[in-house]
Amino acid sequence: MDLELAARINGFLAALVLLTAFAMLAQRRMNGLIHLFAWQGLLLSVNAAIVGYAAARHHLYISSVLTLGLKVVLLPYILHALIRRLRIHKEIEVVVNIPTTMLIGIGLVIFSYQLTAPIRELSTMVTRSTLAVALATVLLGLLMMITRRHAVTQIVGFLALENGLFFAATSATYGMPLVVELGVALDVLIAAFIFGIFFFHIHATFESLDVEQMARLKEGD
């Protein structure tokens, strides 16, 4: 595969990743949100494999398989299982309404392009133009965590943010060194177990996973 083609595929996948990030912002249902997250993971995994093949960086295959196992299979499975166990299917309430959130999201994308402009000029890599998308995915994940007051959506936002970081690593640098990728994957795995335990604790204590209820710690006055 020549690099030109790989760059086009990479650009196309970047567009799809951004699309899933926006779809997550608009999605009100919990199950739909987790499906979108799994799709985003799949796009990242395919992207890593293609970049790895085109640029002959074979350690990216390992990252690709790790992403597939962790973000497409394991994490969505854990999240689905938790939702079933805790019986939370209802629609998610949003703090800011969805059209406004989308507008803020568009602003964040433009901001990301502005911020990464000097880097795009420096890089000689085929994948350089997608760094802005990666940063935008990080910021959109952050936006989702701020605008949704539910423990599960906050976690999905956090994981989407992590997806953006992975995308940044594969598009700006052909992937971080393998030992770092493995360590980050291990941290994500531990984090998954911790939020799983947390959901049970929060549910048992507050009888809901609505984060709005957690407002007891205020400044004393």
Q: Which residues bind another protein (CB under 8 A)?
A: 57, 115, 118-119, 122-123, 135, 138, 142, 145, 151, 154, 158, 161-162, 165, 168-169, 172-174, 176-180, 183-184, 186-187, 190-191, 194-195, 197-198, 201-202, 205-206, 211, 214-217, 219-221
Q: How far is the CB of 47 from another protein (least distance, A)?
A: 15
For residue 14, the SS3 value is helix
Of 99 and 134, CB closest to another protein: 134
Contact criterion met (CB below 8 Å) for 111 and 88 = no
Q: How far is the CB of 124 from another protein (least distance, A)?
A: 9
Of 38 and 151, CB closest to another protein: 151
Of 4 and 187, CB closest to another protein: 187
Of 35 and 57, CB closest to another protein: 57
Q: How far is the CB of 179 from another protein (least distance, A)?
A: 6
Q: Is residue 70 classed exposed, middle or buried when 0-12, 13-18 and 19+ CB atoms within 10 A define those classes?
A: buried
Contact criterion met (CB below 8 Å) for 158 and 220 = no
Q: How far is the CB of 110 from another protein (least distance, A)?
A: 17
CA distance linking residue 98 with residue 76, whole number of Å: 24
- Given CA atoms 102, 106, 109, 111 in this order, what sign does their dihedral have? negative
- Given CA atoms 157, 37, 148, 95 in this order, what sign does their dihedral have? positive
